[in-house]
Amino acid sequence: MTCFDEYFEKDFDLENLLTKYKPYQREIVRSLLSYDNIDDGLEAYFSSAGPMNMACFGGDSGDKKSYKERFIIETRKLICGDSGYQAEQQKMSLALTGGVEAFVSYIAASISKTLDISEVYLIPCVIFVIVTIAKVGIKAYCAGITSEN
Amino acid sequence: MEQVLGIMKSVVVGRLIESQVKMLGSGFIITNDGKIVTTRHVIGDSNRDIVAIIDTVSALFDYQDITNTCCSVMPVRIVEVDPFRDIAILKADMQVPGGFAKIASLDAAAVGSDVVIIGYPHCVEGRKVLTIQRTEIGAKIIMQCQNIKSKYAVLNIQTRPGQSGSVVFSRDCQLILGLIIGSFAPDSGISLGGINPRELNQTTHCISAEYLNDML
């Protein structure tokens, strides 16, 4: 386990955290929280491309299909103490002293480099993951990492 | 008309690939500190080598020399993105002089009102021509992505690849009313030269510009 165990055992104030973000981000996070589990919420987020049946003119399609799986794996590695993220975990501990917002930003920035996607795109998902951890506990959240590795 | 449109500053959004710009779609500058509005699907999700080619409104009223393929590009990065509404805000490190049109809801315009679309049709095919199209709002609709509902307008005009991210502007009210997102086109299972024939209907959809206010 990591140094974050104790932190996540404290009371977690979602509404206070959401005040740090823009209205559209708050709306997205609340939408994600309406899903029954983390997998469904992340699937909804990473598969979203506006309303259905719209032909989008122009653009850069990227490799969106694998975002969800890669995000889940990399986030768990980072938060749950994978040796590949040792340097980041130390910095993450420092980020926590700056509050949850700094913690969210640090996780999003770290994962965004690995996935080559913008940090701001990951912010709602990271908040969603942190809220989930606050609900289920970090031990339960990290329990799946061995099988995924 | 030039005076009315002088407050619009359109851009082509693209990605640098081996010193060449792959043009991806349209956009427009919205703040003096260089924030640019486009659609999320235009830019994708990576910040790598995104650039904007900035035009002035005067280009719209001059002959545009499309034989000149050189251009100046400005590096930009994604600073806000809403995948549910397909909107992205980019930021260029520059100061943009002048004023900007106000952002408004589609509520401000009645069905049947005249609007203009300003953008770059066919830029994804390597042709950069700043173009204005006049049309009217054919309907106002509510659409949903996941469990978030949003306001849209159906515009009575066909648009083509490259126009996503174009501004929808009311000359009468001098308001930014919307952002072109695409055309209604359920999958037909047929592709003619890469085009789903259902894209060729004579309407276009824009999302209400009011959602930009929550992102700026």
User: ipTM of the predicted structure?
Assistant: 0.90
Q: Is B4 exposed, middle or buried (0-12, 13-18, 19+ CB in 10 A)?
A: middle
Q: How confident is the model at residue B128 (pLDDT cuts 50, 70, 90)?
A: very high
| A34:B124 CB<8 A | no
The per-residue pLDDT for range B156-173, each reduced to its tens digit, is 999 988 999 999 999 999
* pLDDT for residue B137: 98
**Distance (Å, whole) CA B39 – CA A78:** 31
CA dihedral B104, B107, B111, B115 (to 10 degrees): 0
Tell me the average pLDDT across B109-128. Answer: 95
CA distance B117 to chain A (A): 14
* pLDDT for residue B3: 59
Tell me the average pLDDT across B99-110. Answer: 95
**Distance (Å, whole) CA A41 – CA A125:** 9
Q: How confident is the model at residue B98 (pLDDT cuts 50, 70, 90)?
A: confident
**Distance (Å, whole) CA B216 – CA B207:** 16
Are the CB atoms for A12 and A129 separated by under 8 Å? no
The per-residue pLDDT for range A9-54, each reduced to its tens digit, is 666 788 989 999 999 999 999 999 999 889 999 999 999 988 887 8
* pLDDT for residue B133: 95
Residue, of B195 and A127, whose pLDDT is higher: A127
The tokens of A13 are what? 């104030």
Residue of B46, B53, B183 best to disrupt the A interface, most CBs of A under 10 A? B46
Interface subset of A 31-90, CB within 8 angstroms of B: 31, 34, 44-45, 48-62, 64, 67
DSSP B194: T
| A48:B181 CB<8 A | no
Q: How confident is the model at residue A149 (pLDDT cuts 50, 70, 90)?
A: very low
**Distance (Å, whole) CA A30 – CA B81:** 16
**Distance (Å, whole) CA B121 – CA B99:** 25
DSSP string for B42-55:
HH-S--TTEEEEE-
**Distance (Å, whole) CA B130 – CA B116:** 13
The per-residue pLDDT for range A122-137, each reduced to its tens digit, is 999 999 999 988 888 8
CA distance B112 to chain A (A): 22
* pLDDT for residue B190: 82
| A31:B44 CB<8 A | no
* pLDDT for residue A61: 60
Q: How confident is the model at residue B117 (pLDDT cuts 50, 70, 90)?
A: very high
Interface subset of B 48-107, CB within 8 angstroms of A: 48, 77-86
* pLDDT for residue A83: 82
Residue identified by tokens 């035009």 is B55
- Percent of chain B at pLDDT > 90 equals 73
* pLDDT for residue A1: 47
User: Is B163 within 8 Å of chain A by CB?
Assistant: yes
* pLDDT for residue B13: 96
Total number of residues shown for chain A: 149
**Distance (Å, whole) CA B91 – CA B89:** 7
Q: For residue A52, which residues of chain B lie inside 8 Å, CB to CB?
A: 145
Between helix A67-80 and helix A86-97 the angle, nearest 10°, is 80
CA distance A59 to chain B (A): 3
| Torsional sign, CA B179, B3, B31, B15 | positive
Instruction: State yes or no: pLDDT of B6 exceeds 90.
Output: no
* pLDDT for residue A65: 60
Q: Is B54 exposed, middle or buried (0-12, 13-18, 19+ CB in 10 A)?
A: buried
